[in-house]
Amino acid sequence: MITITQLILSLCTLLLACADAAAPYQLLKPPLDTPWTSKVGSNPWPQYPRPQLRRDVWQSLNGIWTFQKAQGPGDVANPPALPLGQEVLIPSCIESGISGIQEMNVIHMWFGTNFTVPPRWADNGRRVMLNFEAVDYEATVYVNGAEVGTNRGGYHRFTLDITSNIVRDGANQLHVFVFDPTDDQSIPQGKQVRRPSHIFYTPCTGIWQTVWLESVPKDFISSLDITADMNGNVTVVARSWHKENTPVDISIASPQGDVVASQQHVSDQPFTVNVPSPMLWSPDSPTLYNITVIMGDDEVKSYTGFRTISTGVVNGIQRPQLNGEFVFMFGPLDQGYWPDGIYTPPTLEAMVYDLELIKSLGMNMVRKHIKVEPDLFYEACDRLGLLVMQDMPSMRVFTNAPPTDAEQREFERQLEIMVNEHKSYPSIVTWVIYNEGWGQRTNYYPEFFLTDRVRELDSSRLVNSVTGWHDHGAGDYHDNHHYAEPQCGTPWSSLPNTPYDPKRIGFQGEFGGIGHRPADENLWPVPEAVRTINETYELHNAGLESYHYRAHVLLQLLREQVEKYACSGAVYTQTTDVEGEVNGLMTYDRRVVRVDVEQWKKDIQGLYEAARGRVRGAGPENRPGPHKSGGGGARGGHSGQQPH
């Protein structure tokens, strides 16, 4: 059946007579909004999107574009005339109210806009680069009708040199063809599914992060890897787009703005600059140093923080260490979902609000759960002082069809991109490869060589190879998921897939998840989601009193496990409610903080005190071996280990 819109569009294409026929953009009412929905406007995400490689000359292409569905994969070869049938706000997920489309199950589609290039941007051999911060899932990009590049993978940046395709004094046409199979295929997709239910949510399709242009000199710095450690050593690799071994100058400024170190070297090779006695970065004191790098005519700004994350035995127990000291890590499972924007936070302020709330409760960590955020998220964590445990977005959860070899290779390729793109953010301290066995093949154990591969790309962080089940001993963490009661670093385990292992860091990758149905005005009212509320691990329908009591009990239990056993950190599920899950510190719309703030602050401080006690304290109470027979959890079954 052909819809009226399709009919008009085909007539337009035939007659080329429907310019300006695009249906105007309208913010559509999402099932639930947030305090920021009405502030999105038509100039969303105006901030410079790449905080660790900044240039002055840039232009955002965010705003109103046009959109239309495509019939299928074959349409990629034929960009249709602009404008397309319907206006859309960029960046957005087309499933979101903010997009102005709010439709599910669109698999092939076009996005289009026009742009002009400011004068002199392409003079004297300068190049014009087109940057996409993230497009889910595959993008084919045309400028003035010529294909300029493609990208596969919904969570990373790609950059195209469009200098030879642009007109310098007039409008340029930009088309992006997008294909997004979501969970029709096994691809890195995280929580996105076509049919959302319980712990899986609405998918995101399309250009969901900033699109922008920049003008760069003929030879320019294409990437900058910076790692700074507690000894003041700053290791730098400045890559040039096409000319290796070009001289580069680096200078590092203190938080007061004084240059404290500078050095000359060449591009594309690692070198080290030492800053004597730097102020270290930590959650309590998130000190950052600004950096300027110059390569010929190219000058870029960046920053770093001096910190070392490592493992070590403290009083007989394997611990994560920040700047040489045991750091107990506590924070929420952070899905990064929004009722109005799905994957795209409505505004920067909204995104940072979540982080500030986490910080204000006294937590020092956030586990970014099978999603990769805009770079400004990591910059905010650097600035606020939050340790980040960064998950690789998992592939489809399979029952009997594990990823094929080709799907597995693509997962590995995108894992490498995630690590390379984010390895200069001081806040990120751990990479997570697999979550709860999702997409994890077990006919061989890919987590072993993937752990080695991640360490090769980035030796300055820890690796949590598998969080929650299918643990074969890889990586730095021994990490189980146990709802609702924690079993953190305990020498017993009711979880056959994650047996106790004192050689690695004892960690509770997920626990908690207790819930309370909010008032209807704060609930995601989609019937499919409402139907699954009763699947919440522990639901306190009787009221918030019992919810507060149970939350307190769980944090006390965790504290006891810190005092007695090898527990080095934990992740509480979760920052906010998400769709049919009603177990957040806050409701999905961020309008109600559900937790008893004062109680939580006390209980969280209690965890850190207990951890400090273990550093001061005498011997360990959980040497491997003798306590193996201890009980306490549900034994011999999956009863306590639920997916999330």
Residues that bind ligand NAG (CB under 6 A): 19-20, 66, 82-83, 113-114, 171, 231-233, 253, 255, 257, 272, 274, 290, 301, 531, 534-535
Taking residue 169's Cβ as centre, other Cβ atoms within 10 Å add up to 7
Q: What is each CA distance from 360 to 94, 280, 351, 418, 426, in whole angstroms?
A: 33, 21, 15, 29, 20
| CA 362 to mean position of chain CA atoms | 22
Looking at beta carbons only, is 66 or 451 nearer to ligand NAG? 66
Closest distance of CB 502 from ligand NAG, Å: 32
Structure tokens at 629: 């027979």
Looking at beta carbons only, is 6 or 251 nearer to ligand NAG? 251
Looking at beta carbons only, is 257 or 543 nearer to ligand NAG? 257
Looking at beta carbons only, is 249 or 535 nearer to ligand NAG? 535
Closest distance of CB 612 from ligand NAG, Å: 27
Residues 6+ apart with CB under 8 A from 379: 51, 52, 425
Closest distance of CB 233 from ligand NAG, Å: 4
Looking at beta carbons only, is 424 or 622 nearer to ligand NAG? 424
Looking at beta carbons only, is 73 or 324 nearer to ligand NAG? 324
Closest distance of CB 535 from ligand NAG, Å: 5
Closest distance of CB 88 from ligand NAG, Å: 10
Strand partners, 143: 146, 174
Closest distance of CB 115 from ligand NAG, Å: 9
Structure tokens at 147: 């294909």
Looking at beta carbons only, is 66 or 205 nearer to ligand NAG? 66
Closest distance of CB 616 from ligand NAG, Å: 28
What secondary structure letter does DSSP report for 66? E
Helix axes 405-422, 446-457, angle to 10 degrees: 30
Residues 6+ apart with CB under 8 A from 256: none
Closest distance of CB 369 from ligand NAG, Å: 23
Q: How far apart are CA 479 and CA 493, in angstroms?
A: 11
Q: How far apart are CA 517 and CA 546, in angstroms?
A: 13
Q: How far apart are CA 593 and CA 421, in angstroms?
A: 33
Q: Report DSSP letters for 82-147, one per residue.
A: SS-SEEEEES--TTSTTTT---S---EEEEEEEE-PPTTTTGGG-EEEEEES-EESEEEEEETTEE
Looking at beta carbons only, is 212 or 411 nearer to ligand NAG? 212
Q: What is each CA distance from 130 to 63, 127, 159, in whole angstroms?
A: 15, 10, 6
Looking at beta carbons only, is 145 or 496 nearer to ligand NAG? 145
Print burial letters for 99-129: b (CB count within 10 Å at least 16), e (below 16).
bbbbeeebbbbbbbbebebeeebbeeebbbb
Closest distance of CB 22 from ligand NAG, Å: 7
Structure tokens at 133: 């911060």
